[in-house]
A and B are shown apart, each in its own frame.
Chain A
Amino acid sequence: MDEYLVGVLSNVGVISFVALSAYLLLLTGEITFGQQAFFAIGAYAAGIATAMWGWTLAAGLGFGALAGALSATIVGVPTLRLHGLYFAIATLAFAEMVRILFEMFRYQIEIDGEWVGPNGADGFRDIRYIFENDISGMEFMLIIYGLLTVILAGFMLLERSRLGVIFRMIGEDEVLAGLQGVSVARYRILAAAIAGALAGIGGGLYAHLTTYIEPRIFDVMLGVHSLAYGLIGGLGTALGPILGVLIDIGLLESIRALSGYRMIIFGGLVALLLIVRPRGLLDERLVHRIGVALRGGRKMRV
């Protein structure tokens, strides 16, 4: 496969994680502009683990996911009472705070005569795990898509489980969800933690894909895009945000003729869809209709 295509697909795969992270919170009715913070935390944590502490890739990614989940839980508790605009602004402020903290974060050790580790605004270079272990770009892409498949399978299971239905209930009417016996606060924190873990894994993959991360990458635009992917692709299924990433990175950013107009087309698309299809292309109604059509004829359960 062409190296350029492998690069584009790897990018699509990695960004899909942070898109799924924002999507999960959209399901519970929260608009966040801050998932890039957990992506950054996961990237730094995984990079430090493999490049500085000599951990394996799997352990590093797991550490990134854990760091994402823990920090998301810590932010989730105080923002529990915030909704709508207030929640969005709080998440944005937190993410900017994280980015600025990484600009000040210096933690380096000497390995074979070279200094390795995060160096403030200059970033964190030489996260060379995949070169040192002879993992090709193609193989790393397969790792990304392998993990993404597992996560998507998890989402498919979630959608069929009571937990997934509870998340959607909270998103639609929090008071009514409470009146079905659901402890809304507990589930909102759970959703935040899972979303933090997803962004954290994505960040870890990203750090190893590019071998170089710097705070500037994790700015508000990444958060806005992550949110927009679900809103464009649709909130009816976890494939929705992935469709959003494919449209943006797979088409607009990667096709030369379009890339100059990326922000214009993307922005226009978001605006248009918010008006004509507020819950995205693959919204709940469409997904439900497809589900009925696929099951069509088959005998009803029970």
Chain B
Amino acid sequence: MLELHRLTKHFGGVRAVDGVDLIVNPGEVLGLIGPNGSGKSTTVNLICGLFPLTSGLIMFKGEDISALPPHERVTRGIARTFQNIRLFGQLTVWQNLWVAQNSAEQRRQNPVRRWFGGGGSAREDIGRTLEFFDLAHKRDELAGNLAFGEQRRLEFARAFAAKPVLLLLDEPAAGMNAEEIDQLDARIRTLRDTGMAILLIEHHVELVMSVADRIAVLNFGQKIAEGSPAEVQNNPLVREAYLGTATAA
């Protein structure tokens, strides 16, 4: 599904991502962890095309997408959430989901329906999405008026509304309480079981260990370990990377 080959991004002298190889398969949750500033968010930004690569290659469904602009990557089936919530606060919950419906399949709808309020199937999709993310009662509320937890859910819902085949989640559990994290865990599993490929960046160790099928670890922009949750947990390099930053901080 997604293959990163020697992915590299330098910001001036900072090697934010430095020669990372990574594969995410359909129906799999790949956890991406690492200390602060190790290049996790930058990796996601590169996959969705927010900045050009310094070097390397991004292959998606067998095609090199390294040079495509972000909006074309979206239509090919890549959606994401942000570490710092990013929503259209002046639009309603429903509108946030409606405009996110931009996959190639969704674009083939009857244009009159698509441009004026969405056809029956588009509306049904939004209705189901609202139910799944427990936002149905907030449907006509402005996104900017939602509580923090609801905004997090809406962001996830918006990424889901695009019917992606690859979902990039950048710290979706940040700021959530235990109950919300449990719900998040369940939702990620449900989506994975539909065959979606999921890249999950998370500092919340319990969540990653529980839901990820495989875990890759970044440190200073380089991949230092990869394997099953148990393998990664017992890897001395990983322990050192985390302890190292813990003492430095």
Contact = CB atoms under 8 A, between A and B. Distances in A.
Nearest to A176: B86
B225 to A, nearest CB: 30
Interface stretch (B70-78, B197-205, B236-244): B70-78
A284 B142 CA distance: 9
Interface string B188-221: 0000000000000000000000000000000000
A302 B123 contact: yes
16 contacts: A157-B116, A161-B116, A162-B98, A162-B116, A175-B70, A178-B74, A180-B71, A181-B75, A181-B103, A181-B162, A183-B71, A184-B71, A284-B142, A288-B142, A300-B139, A302-B126
Interface of A: 157, 160-163, 165-166, 168-169, 172-173, 175-176, 178-184, 284-285, 288, 292, 300-302
Interface of B: 48, 50, 69-71, 74-75, 79-80, 86-92, 95, 98-100, 102-103, 114-117, 123-124, 126-127, 139-140, 142, 158, 162
Contacts of B88: 168-169, 172-173, 176
A160 B90 contact: no
Contacts of A181: 71, 74-75, 100, 102-103, 162
Given A178-B71, A180-B71, 19 more contacts: A160-B116, A162-B98, A162-B99, A162-B115, A162-B116, A169-B99, A172-B89, A175-B70, A178-B69, A178-B74, A179-B80, A180-B100, A180-B162, A181-B102, A284-B90, A285-B142, A288-B142, A300-B139, A301-B123
A288 B86 contact: no
Contact of B90 (A157, A168, A300): A168
Contacts of A285: 142
A168 B95 CA distance: 11
Contacts of A301: 123
B116 A172 contact: no
B125 to A, nearest CB: 11
Contacts of B140: 292, 300
A182 B86 contact: no
A166 B102 CA distance: 12
B46 to A, nearest CB: 13
A16 B75 CA distance: 38
B123 to A, nearest CB: 5
Contacts of A162: 98-99, 114-116
A162 B88 CA distance: 14
B220 to A, nearest CB: 26
A181 B99 CA distance: 9
Nearest to A175: B50
A168 B102 CA distance: 17
B208 to A, nearest CB: 24
Contacts of A157: 116
B142 A182 contact: no
A182 B79 CA distance: 13
A169 B91 contact: yes
B70 A179 contact: yes
Contacts of A166: 99
B142 A178 contact: no
Contact of A172 (B80, B90, B127): B90
Nearest to A182: B71
Nearest to B130: A302
Nearest to B111: A162
Q: Report which residue of A157, A161, A166, A169 has the largest number of chain B beta carbons within 10 angstroms of its beta carbon.
A: A169
Given A179-B80, A302-B123, A163 B115 contact: yes
A181 B106 CA distance: 11
Given A162-B98, A172-B88, A179 B48 contact: yes
Contacts of A176: 86-88
B199 to A, nearest CB: 15
Contacts of B102: 180-182
B179 to A, nearest CB: 27
B127 A302 contact: yes
